[in-house]
Amino acid sequence: MSLKKFHLFFISTSLSLMVFIGGWVAYQFQMGKGKDWLGTGAIAVVGFILGLIYANWFRVKYKNL
């Protein structure tokens, strides 16, 4: 596997982590502690959106890497 493919795999894994953190914050809300982790949830959502934009940009920009 080339570095380019491994990088895209890594970004996909990171995006999955952002989804996991989002789910974890939702669980904390259910437990009544959600407010403490609101910032963490917001960062995960922003990270997920930025990650998606970056992955798309990287695939197009470095098509021949």
Partner 1 sequence: MSSATTISEHAPVHRSGESTGVTNAKLGIWLFLASEIMLFSTLFTTYIVLRLGAASWPRGWDVLNVPLGMINTFVLITSSVTMVMAYAKAHEKNLKGFQTYMSLTIFLAFVFLINKGIEYSAHFRHNEFPSTSIFHAVYFTLTGLHGLHVIGGIIVNSTLLYLSKTDFEHPLFLGRVEGAGLYWHFVDIVWIFLFPALYLL
Footprint of partner 1 (CB under 8 A)? 1-4, 6-7, 10-11, 13-14, 17, 20-21, 24, 37, 39-40, 43, 47, 51, 54, 58, 62, 65
Q: CB-wise, 52 or 62, nearer to partner 1? A: 62
Q: Which two three-digit tokens encode residue 65?
A: 């890497």
Q: CB-wise, 13 or 30, nearer to partner 1? A: 13
Distance between CA atoms of 41 and 58, rounded to whole angstroms? Answer: 25
DSSP 24-42: HHHHHHHTT-GGGGHHHHH
Closest distance of CB 56 from partner 1, Å: 14
